[in-house]
Amino acid sequence: MKLRNRFTLLALALGLFGVLGARSQIAPVSENWENHCAKCHGADGKGATKVGKKLKLKDYTDAAVQAAMTDEEILKVITEGIFEGEKEKMKAYKDELSEAEIKELVAYVRKFKP
């Protein structure tokens, strides 16, 4: 085998390794939404679930709702949760999800915008 071919093969192997390695650390964002958020906010982001209605969750497919929140606010809410005094309204996800996963969720919330 020529040296250049070997190098190409090595580069390919390393690339594949990188992709697979990243996969195992970060769950796909749709999976995270499904596992951690959909119970309340709904798979469709409308917050029309049983719990969501009770909590009076906002509809993320509503452009006005989207306009009323900044990316920084969304990031902070997912990271630190929402508390009303001692009462937890939404839990903090910083111990369960990585920073990268939380950032992807911010983008995911934005994608519900019509």
Q: What's the alpha-carbon Rg for the chain, to the nearest Å?
A: 19
Minimal distance, residue 85 CB to ligand HEC, in Å: 13
Minimal distance, residue 21 CB to ligand HEC, in Å: 24
C-alpha–C-alpha distance, residues 42 and 55, integer Å? 12
Nearer to ligand HEC, 8 or 88 (CB): 88
Minimal distance, residue 86 CB to ligand HEC, in Å: 15
Contact 25, 40 (CB under 8 A): no
Nearer to ligand HEC, 12 or 82 (CB): 82
Please list, in sequence order, all residues whose beta carbon lies within 8 angstroms of the beta carbon of residue 94, skipping any fewer than 6 positions away: 79, 80, 102
Record the tokens describing residue 19, joined without a space.
């992709």
Residue (of 65, 70, 60) closest to 108 by Cα position? 60
Nearer to ligand HEC, 8 or 70 (CB): 70
| Residues in touch with ligand HEC (CB under 6 A) | 36-37, 39-41, 51, 55, 57-58, 69, 74, 77-78, 82, 89-90, 93, 105, 109
